[in-house]
């Protein structure tokens, strides 16, 4: 590189853009199983709405229901079409797919 001189940007064509080299990410600690007598850590709830606090769905099987945070209404996670795909009917009271009544 003896003949390095100043060039205007338009004349210069020797450099090429290239992607950054991948940086090595620090490895995470291995997740070990719970030892005897150790409690599980609770999962942090994703959506905490501080403005509106709804009473939880009072049904026994809460995992079958989903709650609208704006209206606090509980509705079924299962849909009628999902049940019909399995040749079942949606029981809206229990939110379960039941065998059709004859």
Report which of residues 25 and 17 the model is more confident about. Answer: 17
Report which of residues 86 and 24 the model is more confident about. Answer: 86
- Which are the contacts of 70, defined by CB distance < 8 A and separation ≥ 6? 52
pLDDT of residue 86 exceeding 90:
yes
Domain 62-96 bears CATH identifier 2.10.160.10: yes
Lookup: tokens for 17: 């853009």
pLDDT of residue 42 exceeding 80:
no
Q: Where are the domains of the chain?
A: 62-96
The whole-number pLDDT of residue 93 equals 83
């Amino acid at each position: 590189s003896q003949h390095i001189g100043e060039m205007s940007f338009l004349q210069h064509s020797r450099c090429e853009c290239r992607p950054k080299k991948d940086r090595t990410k620090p490895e995470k600690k291995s997740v070990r199983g719970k030892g005897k007598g150790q409690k599980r850590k609770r999962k942090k709830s994703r959506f905490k709405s501080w403005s509106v606090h709804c009473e939880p769905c009072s049904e026994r099987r809460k995992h079958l229901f989903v709650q609208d945070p704006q209206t606090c209404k509980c509705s079924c996670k299962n849909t009628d079409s999902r049940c019909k795909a399995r040749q079942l009917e949606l029981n809206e009271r229990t939110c379960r797919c039941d065998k059709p009544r004859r």
